[in-house]
Amino acid sequence: MILDLGNGLLIGLLGGAASGLLGVSSGGFLVALVVMVLGLPQHVAQGISLVAQVPPTSLSGVMHYRRSGHAITLRWAVLLSAGFVIGAVAGAFAAGAIPDRVLRWAFVGYLVLLGVLSLTRLRDKPHTAKDGSAVVLRAATLIGVGIVSGLSSGLLGIGGGLAITAILAAGMKVPQHVAQALALAVTTLPLTLPAAWVYAEQASLPWWVLAGIVVGLWLGTAAGARLATLMSERTLRRLMPVCIFAMAAFMAWRAV
């Protein structure tokens, strides 16, 4: 029990720190960390990741962004969340029919795609505004982004925040800090609960490990978000693809 709690705490701290720093849900990092530290199968790692994200562990990160002046638009968060729930349930049911090895390679391919998308933004000039007031996004666009991020969450066991940040920042030209704050705000809500329930029904999950992860996520996300608010937008843009490609490389090595 103590070992499980310790491993979970370590995984949660690392995943939470990366989540708060990059403004993405911790899911992508949690899946890779669970596989790395515990050596569990892909389906189980994804189930652990989704269940651990049900509590509002990223709330501390959202508050740090808010106190630093990086405001989010409530309408955007609501529309993203609506699309997210639809995609997450569909993705979770689809994952149950996919072999573990195929799912792992799908995870790698998804990370590479998001990494390439993040690279396209490196030459853009940093935004001077701290909010997204200069960007106009239609309701259908936001719901569509939510569905895509939800599908990635349910299918690959990640929180979906990685997709929200990458698509909004690189594809929609939303300021990096705002995109990151939005991703954390959406993943603060228990939107992974339906998908997590599907995974929990299909596999036995190590609950003491999960308890340690939840505590670690709360502490790590706060620390990562505090660091992110001290860094420039350009630095965060450069850091994101590095982290994404590093995760992809590790998961590809595991798949091989």
Average pLDDT, the chain: 78
In angstroms, the CA 173 to CA 82 distance is 22
Half-sphere exposure for 13 (CA within 13 Å, toward CB):
7
Confirm if 199 and 54 have CB atoms less than 8 A apart: no
Q: Give Cα separations from 151 to 17, 88, 90, 221, 228 (angstroms).
A: 24, 5, 7, 23, 27
**pLDDT tens readout for residues 68-104:** 776 677 788 888 888 888 888 888 788 778 887 888 8
Show the tokens assigned to 179. 């995109």
Residue where the block lists tokens 């620390």? 223
Answer whether residue 132 shows pLDDT above 60.
Answer: no
Assigned token pair, 18: 């990366």
Is the distance from CB of 58 to CB of 162 less than 8 angstroms? Answer: no
Looking at this protein, which amino acid is placed at residue 210? L
Distance, in Å, from the CA atom of 40 to the CA atom of 212, rounded to the nearest integer, reads: 16
For residue 184, pLDDT over 70 is answered with: yes
CB neighbours of residue 168 within 10 Å: 27
pLDDT digits (tens, 9 = 90+) for 26-41: 666 788 888 888 888 8
pLDDT digits (tens, 9 = 90+) for 232-252: 877 877 888 888 888 788 778
- pLDDT in the model for residue 128: 47
Q: How confident is the model at residue 166 (pLDDT cuts 50, 70, 90)?
A: confident
Q: 100 and 39 in contact (C-beta within 8 Å)?
A: no
- The span from the CA of 3 to the CA of 7, in Å, is 6
* pLDDT at residue 70, as a whole number: 67
Residues in CB range of 121: below 8 A, 6 or more apart:
169, 170, 176, 237
Residue appearing with tokens 């990741």: 49
**Over residues 41-70, mean pLDDT:** 75
What is the band of 138 on the pLDDT scale with cuts at 50, 70, 90?
confident
* DSSP per-residue codes, 52-73: HTSS-TTHHHHHHHHHTT----
Q: What is the pLDDT of residue 248?
A: 83
- Retrieve residue 143's tokens: 């719901």
